[in-house]
Amino acid sequence: MRSTRLALAGLTAMTLASTSFAGMVYQDYEGTWDTDTDTVNFSYAITTSGSNQNIGAESTLEIVDGGYNSTKAAKIKIVASAADQAPDARYIVNKNATITAANPKVDANGYLGYYYKLDSQYADQAVKLALTIDDPGTADTAVKVDAIADGNWHMVQWSLDNNDDWDVFAYPGGLGNGQVDEAKISIDSLYIGGKEGANFEIFIDTITHAETGLTDVPEPASLALLGLGSLAFMRRRK
């Protein structure tokens, strides 16, 4: 099985005055927030999806202060339903209508991704991240990424133009063929998983489709804090 690890080093060594995106932002947790509604992307509880595996009732979604380059973020608590079970959570974009004004079909090119923060105390929880798309008539899941647990914000993204970034649907049924086939797709959910008996909290922010990838652009006043580092891609096959 393929796995891909992406790390953006030095990203949180600075405070950015603005962030530029070439595509659309599905959710940045700013503005009005309503829960359990298809008009607000990613507003449903983490326990909502019927495709969840081994997710305990104690698992929660909360909107909190302190996002990536913003004021708010989602804090997601994942608790395995049993000590010998590995949790696989599907954080759905909506529940009753996949395609909505807030979640339209987009061109199947560019990148889908988001920012996350995981504290170092969860380094032993083997947290993995991905996302799933509706490739009309089927579904595909991005290759899972090992989350970096250091208490800093990091970016993960997957190219819609590169089939090496995609796998079959990661939940019961095994939908999809591990490649993007259609000219337009829509986002379905984020994947968050961990080891057997995992119990951790992770912050999520700025879920986006960007035609040229997620790019951080500091204002001149922020240049003294510049510490972007480089984006490293490490792929391995199992």
Confidence grade of residue 175 (pLDDT, cut at 50, 70, 90) = low
pLDDT at 86: 97
Q: Check: CB of residue 180 under 8 Å from CB of residue 163.
A: yes
Please give the average per-residue pLDDT across 164-182, as a whole number: 70
- Is residue 35 exposed (0-12), middle (13-18) or buried (19+ Cβ within 10 Å)? exposed
pLDDT at 137: 67
| pLDDT(143) > 80 | yes
Residue from 4, 7, 234, 209 nearest 114 by CA = 209
| pLDDT(70) > 70 | yes
**CA distances, 8 to each of 80, 135, 157 (Å):** 28, 28, 11
Residue found by looking up tokens 């309503």 in the block: 34
CATH of 26-212, one of 2.60.120.260, 1.10.3720.10, 2.60.40.4070, 3.40.50.300: 2.60.120.260
Distance CA 49, CA 80 (A): 15
Q: What is the CA radius of gyration of the chain?
A: 17
Residue found by looking up tokens 């259609």 in the block: 182
Distance CA 189, CA 236 (A): 24
pTM of the entire structure? Answer: 0.79
Distance CA 104, CA 36 (A): 18
More confident residue, 67 or 2: 67
Residue length of the chain: 238
pLDDT at 167: 84
Residue found by looking up tokens 């133009």 in the block: 161
Distance CA 102, CA 38 (A): 8
| pLDDT(216) > 50 | no
Confidence grade of residue 223 (pLDDT, cut at 50, 70, 90) = very low
Q: Give Cβ neighbours of residue 173 (< 8 Å, ≥ 6 apart).
A: none
- Between the two ends of the chain, the Cα-to-Cα distance in Å is 5
| pLDDT(83) > 90 | yes
Distance of CA 41 to the CA centre of its chain: 13
